Amino acid sequence: MLPWWKERVFYQIYPRSFKDSNGDGIGDLKGIISKLDYLKELGIGAVWLCPIYDSPNADMGYDIRDYEKIMSEFGDMDDFDILLEEMHKRDIKLIMDLVVNHSSDEHRWFIESRKSKDNPYRDYYIWADGKNDKEPNNWSSFFTPSAWSYCKETGQWYLHLFAEKQPGLNWENPNLREEIYAMINRWFDKGVDGFRMDVITLISKNTELPDGKGEGYVFSPEYFALQPKMHEYLRELRNKCFRGRDCMCVGEATFANETNANTLVGDGNELDLIFQFDLMDIDGGSSKWDLREFDLLKFKSTIEKWQKTLDWNTLFWGNHDQPRVVSRFGSTESEELRNRSAKCLAIAMYLLRGTPFIYQGEELGMTNYLFENVGQLRDIESINLLKQNDRNKDWAWKGIKAKGRDNARTPMQWNNSNNAGFTNGNPWIEVNPNYVLINAEDEEKDSNSILNFYKKIIKLRNSNDVLINGEFNLLWPDHKQLFAYERIYENKKYTIICNISNKNTNLPEKISGNVVLSNFDVLEEFIPFGAAVYVNDD
């Protein structure tokens, strides 16, 4: 019997932008409840819900002020209880996004911790003395030049691997860990089905706090990612919270690679699944902002590497941190190409071996937004990039337009009425004006829509022995246009062929079997972004 999280297709909801029910322009829990039938009809079996906890939203909820209070803009705990009940009524599981590498600086623990060096909560966070009136070391953070901020009340610095308002929790402290475990178990007792653990590979740091190699501020994950005690903490988390429950824990495994990934999921004593980011980094250079062209051969070798590295992968083209996949790896040159490339990418990804995670709006073929000025941005990562590159604004803006996280955070496009039916108020972030063309209501009525194609792919995969259990075999690894692979289980084989290019191409060999799904009238020649699924059970 497979665990439920291997048999279901997941859908990631970014609640702030999903559906607003009370006209304040901000998505909320009641809005999600109103769209559960839409998810059921899509074929979704589980939801990853981005953080809904009380937060000042310095980083849109990834800065938690109270782990057991619902963010007031999203509703209250009664709304949550109804949401969970309505999900379970529809046999949709719920995993919560949990951020325990850091909290908000407005969390009561931090308010206490910063009061004095002998405060009982002092060691819930990572404090250190400066060196020669400067930071304790030269680490930079994901969002700020230095990973340290000074606290004059106590004359020490505190570590934050993200924004100043996201102080790092000190997992070395068993009291902190016990509080985290107790909180997780109280959420389990409410009936949630698991957690997506934010940047969980960063929870252990090198306590010597050594300088990174280089001049100035240096990004130094070799001292704060996948450190030795991380496994100890993950095993303790498994034993204190997950063991014995019919639940799932997926870790955002920032900096995991093929040499260490199995230490996180291999023996079942730590995480069940990981999100690794090799594919998300494929069009970046020294940073995500150094844009690179999509390289299909690199894509194919990356996919094959991970299909061979892990017995069970997470399968995703994006999330709330990534740009919209059809704009990034597909084509928006024409409506025909947007339609066909979105379908091609879905076939390419979601018939691989692993658990699919579809990001809200991806099933509609939603695109990046054409941001033009900083007033349209909401994401601290992009806003800080502009601040830190004042003399290099063109470079920064090029990166933000291509990969800024706000691209994925514009409101869900439900219909072609005002604000795409997301809100009848003033949306917290601009709605993409192409909602008049791209929206769920119109796509539901269009048999050729991306939405209806996603329904077909999910239906094909759901409860399909071969596509769930089958082994993966890459075909034609050196072909410069075709991404093709087989899924084989017992005597049945599916062959998946995708022309991820903007040129026609012929198949290198004849494929046996019948076409069960395709995004074009399959002939010998595959048109740009043409994709087809063949099955043969000889």
Q: Mind telling me the catalytic residues?
A: 198, 252
Nearest CB to ligand TEU, comparing residues 28 and 381: 381
CA distances from residue 394 to 367, 397, 401 in whole angstroms, order as listed: 22, 5, 11
Say how many C-beta atoms besides its own lie within 10 A of residue 64's C-beta: 27
Nearest CB to ligand TEU, comparing residues 105 and 381: 381
Q: Does 24 bind Ca ion (CB under 5 A)?
A: yes
The CB-of-452 to ligand TEU minimum distance in angstroms stands at 30
Q: Which stretch binds Ca ion (CB under 5 A): 23-31, 85-93, 354-362, 508-516?
A: 23-31
Torsion sign (Cα): 176, 178, 181, 183: negative
Question: Residues 92, 96, 99, 192: which binds ligand TEU (CB under 6 A)?
Answer: 99
Tell which positions 169-208 bind ligand TEU, by CB under 6 A. Answer: 198-199
Q: Does 29 bind Ca ion (CB under 5 A)?
A: no
Contact between 52 and 33 under an 8 Å Cβ cutoff? The reply is: no
Contact between 161 and 168 under an 8 Å Cβ cutoff? The reply is: yes
Tell which positions 163-222 bind Ca ion, by CB under 5 A. Answer: none
Nearest CB to Ca ion, comparing residues 174 and 425: 425
- Judged by beta carbon distances under 5 to 8 A according to partner kind, the member of Ca ion, ligand TEU, none in contact with residue 199 is ligand TEU
Task: Give the pairing of strands 273-275 and 93-98.
Answer: unpaired
The site string for ligand TEU over 384-423 (x = CB under 6 A, - otherwise) reads ---------------------x------------------
**85 CB-contact burial (10 Å; exposed 0-12 / middle 13-18 / buried 19+):** exposed
Q: Where are the beta strands (DSSP E) in 244-365?
A: 248-252, 273-275, 313-315, 354-359
What's the CA gap between 408 and 325, in Å, rounded? 9
- Judged by beta carbon distances under 5 to 8 A according to partner kind, the member of ligand TEU, Ca ion, none in contact with residue 173 is none
What's the CA gap between 105 and 168, in Å, rounded? 9
Rg (CA), the chain: 23
The CB-of-97 to ligand TEU minimum distance in angstroms stands at 8
Closest residue to ligand TEU, judged by C-beta, is 62
Chain Cα centroid distance, residue 27: 18
Q: Does 261 bind ligand TEU (CB under 6 A)?
A: no
Q: Does 26 bind Ca ion (CB under 5 A)?
A: yes
Nearest CB to ligand TEU, comparing residues 252 and 283: 252
DSSP state at residue 405: G
DSSP state at residue 458: H
Contact between 95 and 46 under an 8 Å Cβ cutoff? The reply is: yes
Tell me which residues touch Ca ion (CB under 5 A).
20, 22, 24, 26, 28
Tell me which residues touch ligand TEU (CB under 6 A).
59, 62, 99, 142, 162, 198-199, 252, 254, 288, 320-321, 381, 405
